[in-house]
């Protein structure tokens, strides 16, 4: 999986006996073997794991320090012919001082030693009694076991056979300080940080620590692998829990169960390509030219197995509570943005086409919310139902009932007669249900909305969503156009959850909204069946929106290649779609995304809600004439 930018990392809390270096070393070796079986490329252990963090004045005993040297030599011999990189905590004597250090080992060699910088000496911590800060270090190298080993906080470990992967190491308090060492390491080029820690437990500290690591990972745009001393360290007045976690740019990938007396290992795949893509986009993230970093090369083996899982709906939180919070926040963003436009223009009337479908329903409900904020009566909402050749009784009744339930003003303009006349004028056979037949209706509806807006001194509110814009599933100068579009940043897979949230949130039209949620997605531009059922199902033509939203997220948010998207999609949807189906619809996505840019180049104003926006004035500056050839060619080997 290295070709797609994945690096498998692990964090292990080993079973431990305080001051029993031999026992601890054997347990570390056992856990390294287990990590190798899991294809872990880089593994980190807690702070001072060779001795135990709580040895106190025993750190000044020659016997303990001598046994640590022997343990390091043992680990070097053990690591020969093993390509796993592992990082362990140990005291290191150098420059007439003892340093609380992390030692990085691979294949019989010590790659580097990193001493701790911030030495806590407050409350329950008393480390300055035994250890010096890295600031007291004079040497750049230390001679151990017939090696000259780099030592210092300026070490970056760069993977020579995995382009773009560089890691740095910091120790416990270094991340709690006002200027964490990982700040320097990340702007020096590290995209993964390993932290060896010994953080005891007190009430509230677990959540604080978790938020600290989450935000540090997000702030530095890194994968952050944290591991802390386990419960076996507990002694005298302190209790340790053995907390370990793996974050990627603020997103939790893995976390262990704390308070485990046995050894435990967590591991996951960090996507360094994704992290690098974020750094490319974020021009505020710049390397620090004022500091020199020593770069140490290493290699990791190809990992054939991807253990990481992905959500089928990346725009929709899977946790119901978080989803509810997200929906509430989005509705505030959409409605406040519209309210600001109404307030600025001093316009009180909103005009929209209401179809009985999901998108127009959400837009209508957002106008209702905006009116609440401005104290505008709902009768100022001009909801226009425009039955055409494909309108079914179900959608028509739902549209009418919805408008009436909220006390909005309903107008009906049947477009069939005008479309028939238009087709006669342009000499189009009305029995030819081609693109002209469909788009003629869409443009007729937009013309009606624009003209009524002129009559009423109102704003036409667009209803099209992010997924439709990505695919160009809209009629140029038809439903593509409006005076303000409230759904342009809302993907199709999220629309239904927003409508569902509003339906459950004391809506007077709950039953109507639930029926709309159950209605097939369709533009209703082609005649229905004899049974008055919708025949023109959008997803039959362009493909499942759940796939397209997945493609859109990984393609735009992280710049993922088509091959990588196929790999992630098949792993995620293998119970729902065949690989052939995934390839088929990805090709459709890529072709439509590239060829339909001209519609997005002149899209109306619309509020940005999430991390992906297709506005040509904001996030998406793309040439209308770009070729998609290279992207499709990459998929040929997957067929």
What would the pLDDT profile of 132-178 be if each residue is shown by its tens digit?
A: 999 999 999 999 988 899 999 999 999 998 889 999 999 999 999 99
The verdict on 334 and 431 lying in the same domain is: yes
Residue for token pair 């809390």: 13
**CATH code at 392?**
3.40.50.620
- The model's pTM: 0.90
Instruction: Tell me how crowded residue 576 is: count the other CB atoms within 10 A of its CB.
Output: 13
Calculate mean pLDDT across residues 373-397. Answer: 96
Give the per-residue pLDDT at 521: 81
Number of CB atoms found within 10 A of residue 250's CB: 16
Q: How far apart are CA 82 and CA 555, in angstroms?
A: 36
Out of 299-308, 408-417, 419-428, 466-475, pick the least confident.
Answer: 299-308
List the Cα angle 208/212/217 in 5-degree steps.
Answer: 155
Quote the CA–CA distance of 330 and 353 in Å, as a whole number.
22
User: Order of strands across the sheet with 85-94?
Assistant: 109-115, 97-106, 85-94, 42-44, 6-13, 264-271
User: How far apart, in Å, are the Cα atoms of 47 and each of 88, 195, 297, 475, 498?
Assistant: 7, 8, 23, 61, 46
Q: Which domain holds residue 217?
A: 2-298
Sign, CA dihedral 565-566-572-573, equals positive
pLDDT of residue 283: 80
| pLDDT band, residue 2 (cuts 50/70/90) | low
pLDDT: which is higher, 535 or 583: 583
Which of 15, 27, 47, 438 is catalytic? The answer is: 47
Task: Check whether residue 466 and residue 548 sit in a common domain.
Answer: yes
Q: How far are the Cα atoms of 85, 89, 157, 194 from residue 299, in angstroms, in the given order?
A: 9, 22, 10, 17
* Other CB atoms within 10 Å distance of the CB of residue 23: 15
Q: 266, 298, 330: which is the final residue of a domain?
A: 298
Residues 297 and 257: beta-carbon distance below 8 Å: no
Annotated catalytic residue, options 172, 327, 419, 474:
172
Spot the catalytic one: 15, 55, 67, 116: 116
User: Looking at the 3D structure of the chain, how many domains does it have?
Assistant: 2
Residues 255 and 364 in one domain: no
Query: Distance between CA atoms of 313 and 523, rounded to whole angstroms?
Result: 23
Q: What is the CATH number of the domain that holds 57?
A: 3.60.110.10
Of 298, 330, 346, the residue that ends a domain is 298
Q: pLDDT grade, residue 125 (50/70/90)?
A: confident
Q: Is residue 304 part of a domain?
A: no
Same domain, 357 and 461: yes
Specify whether 95 is located in the same domain as 195.
yes
Q: Is 322 a catalytic residue?
A: no
Q: Is 94 a catalytic residue?
A: no
Q: What is the pLDDT of residue 505?
A: 85
Where is the domain boundary, 265, 298, 331? 298
Pairing of strands 264-271, 6-13: antiparallel
- State how far the Cα of 354 lies from the Cα of 344, in Å rounded to an integer: 25
Per-residue pLDDT band for 359 (boundaries 50, 70, 90) equals: very high
Average pLDDT, the chain: 94
Structural contact between residues 498 and 369, judged by C-beta atoms closer than 8 angstroms: no
At 531 the pLDDT is 80
Let me know whether 250 and 380 are in one domain.
Answer: no
Return the structure tokens found at 381. Answer: 């909402």
Verify whether residue 492 is a known catalytic residue.
no
Q: What is the pLDDT of residues 220-242, one digit of tens each?
A: 999 999 999 999 998 888 899 99
Name the band, by pLDDT with cuts 50, 70 and 90, for residue 38.
very high
């Amino acid at each position: 999986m290295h070709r797609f930018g994945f690096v498998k990392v692990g964090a292990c809390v080993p079973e431990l006996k305080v001051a029993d270096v031999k026992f601890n070393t054997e347990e570390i070796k056992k856990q390294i073997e287990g990590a190798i079986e899991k294809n872990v490329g880089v593994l980190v252990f807690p702070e001072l794991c060779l001795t135990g963090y709580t040895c106190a004045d025993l750190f000044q005993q020659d016997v303990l320090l001598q046994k640590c040297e022997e343990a390091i030599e043992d680990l070097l011999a053990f690591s020969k012919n093993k390509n796993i990189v592992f990082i362990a905590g140990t005291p290191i004597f150098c420059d007439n001082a003892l340093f609380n250090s992390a030692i990085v080992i691979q294949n019989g060699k010590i790659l580097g030693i990193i001493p701790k910088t911030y030495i806590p000496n407050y409350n329950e911590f008393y480390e300055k009694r035994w250890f010096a800060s890295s600031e007291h270090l004079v040497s750049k190298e230390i001679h151990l076991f017939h090696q000259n080993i780099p030592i210092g906080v300026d070490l970056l470990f760069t993977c020579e056979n995995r382009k773009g992967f560089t890691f740095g190491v910091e120790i416990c308090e270094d991340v709690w300080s006002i200027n964490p060492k990982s700040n320097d390491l990340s702007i020096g080029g590290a995209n993964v940080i390993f932290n060896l820690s010994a953080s005891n437990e007190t009430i509230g500290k677990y959540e604080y620590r978790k938020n600290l690591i989450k935000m540090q990972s997000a702030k530095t745009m890194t994968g952050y692998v944290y591991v802390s001393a386990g419960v076996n360290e507990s002694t005298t007045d302190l209790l340790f829990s053995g907390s370990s976690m793996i974050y990627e740019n603020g997103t939790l990938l893995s976390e262990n169960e704390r308070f485990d007396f046995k050894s435990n290992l967590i591991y996951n795949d960090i996507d360094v390509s994704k992290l690098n893509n974020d750094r490319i986009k974020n021009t505020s993230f710049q390397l620090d030219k004022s500091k020199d970093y020593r770069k140490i090369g290493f290699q990791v083996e190809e990992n054939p197995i991807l253990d990481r899982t992905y959500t089928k709906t990346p725009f929709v939180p899977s946790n119901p509570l978080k989803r509810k919070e997200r929906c509430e926040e989005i509705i505030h963003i959409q409605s406040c943005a519209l309210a600001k436009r109404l307030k600025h223009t001093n316009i009180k009337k909103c005009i929209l086409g209401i179809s009985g479908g999901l998108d127009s329903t959400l837009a209508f409900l957002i106008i209702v919310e905006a009116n609440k904020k401005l104290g505008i009566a709902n009768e100022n909402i001009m909801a226009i139902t425009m039955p055409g050749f494909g309108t079914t009784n179900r959608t028509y009744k739902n549209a009418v009932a919805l408008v009436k339930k909220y006390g909005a003003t309903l107008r009906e303009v049947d477009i069939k007669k005008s479309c028939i006349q238009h087709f006669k004028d342009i000499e189009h056979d009305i029995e030819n249900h081609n693109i002209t037949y469909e788009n003629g209706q869409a443009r007729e509806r937009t013309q009606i909305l624009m003209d009524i807006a002129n009559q009423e001194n109102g704003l036409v509110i667009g209803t099209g969503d992010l997924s439709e814009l990505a695919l160009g599933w809209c009629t140029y100068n038809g439903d593509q156009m409006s005076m303000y579009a409230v759904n342009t940043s809302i993907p199709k897979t999220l629309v239904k959850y927003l409508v569902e949230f509003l339906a459950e949130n004391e809506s007077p039209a709950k039953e109507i909204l639930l029926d709309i949620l159950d209605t097939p997605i369709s533009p209703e531009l082609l005649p229905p069946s004899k049974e008055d059922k919708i025949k023109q199902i959008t997803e039959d033509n362009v493909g499942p929106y759940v796939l397209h939203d997945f493609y859109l997220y990984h393609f735009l948010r992280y710049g993922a290649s088509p091959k990588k998207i196929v790999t992630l999609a098949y792993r995620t949807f293998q119970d729902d779609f065949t690989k052939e189906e995934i390839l088929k619809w990805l090709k459709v996505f890529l072709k439509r995304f590239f060829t339909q840019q001209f519609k997005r180049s002149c899209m109306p104003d619309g509020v940005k809600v999430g991390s992906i926006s297709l506005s040509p004035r904001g996030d998406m500056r793309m040439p209308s004439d770009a070729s998609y050839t290279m992207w499709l060619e990459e998929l040929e080997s997957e067929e």
